[in-house]
Structure 1
């Protein structure tokens, strides 16, 4: 699952995941949509932006954590901006490359 409100970044991530051999289950562009997708399930991990249309994505992250689904944050800000409950989660700094996405996904699989 990818959670990203910027269409171009969402499409780029979809392409990256495809090139890395992953299948994108769903792309959420808002907190409400992300929470609904998490409730439906059917995916193994999530890569999520921290800010979605002016809202923080923490409710989605809370649901993912409750369900034991590994996830990482993609952010244009600092990892220091994350709530303390997510301080141990991997982050991916924007702008990123396919190699950075690959390494970040390897980190969540290793931690999971």
Structure 2
């Protein structure tokens, strides 16, 4: 098992399903990421504003609240993110449909590929906020 170190990329994982969040956190840590988790909109907003991260994965629907305000903060900070939803783009309002979307249930290979792609794009444009 890989233990993330201080140089490992940091990912904000916003997921309201506890078991899914725990599974993803474990898988991401084994893949070499440091994971910051939020399970509700308030925590996600706080972390999006104040935490140091490289990329983020945002569940669209957080127990009935939408994660779009978190996406707005990440956009303003220049932090790359992807949405995750079981509803595809049907659950995403028009202003966010150009963002990347992971289909739930999660496919870990697709998730890791998406995080790598997001990180590569960030590195090409000069870092994160």
The answer, yes or no, to whether TM exceeds 0.5 is: yes
State the match for 1:16 in structure 2. Answer: 27
Unaligned runs of 5+ residues in structure 2 are 1-11, 123-129
The reply on whether 1:91 has 2:101 as its aligned counterpart is: yes
- 3-state SS of paired residue (2:57): strand
Q: Distance in 1 between matches of 2:73 and 2:106?
A: 25
Superposition TM-score, scaled by structure 1 size: 0.90
Structure 1 residue 30: Cα displacement: 1.0
Report the count of equivalent residues. 111
Which 10-residue stretch deviates more, 98-107 or 44-53? 98-107
Superposition TM-score, scaled by structure 2 size: 0.79
State the Cα deviation string for residues 9-28 of structure 1 (Å, max 9, x = none): 1011101211221111x211
Does the 8 A contact of 1:90 with 1:108 survive in 2? no
Structure 1 residue 80: Cα displacement: 3.7
Structure of larger gyration radius: 2
Q: CA RMSD in A?
A: 1.3
State the match for 1:72 in structure 2. Answer: 82
Structure 1 residue 110: Cα displacement: 3.3
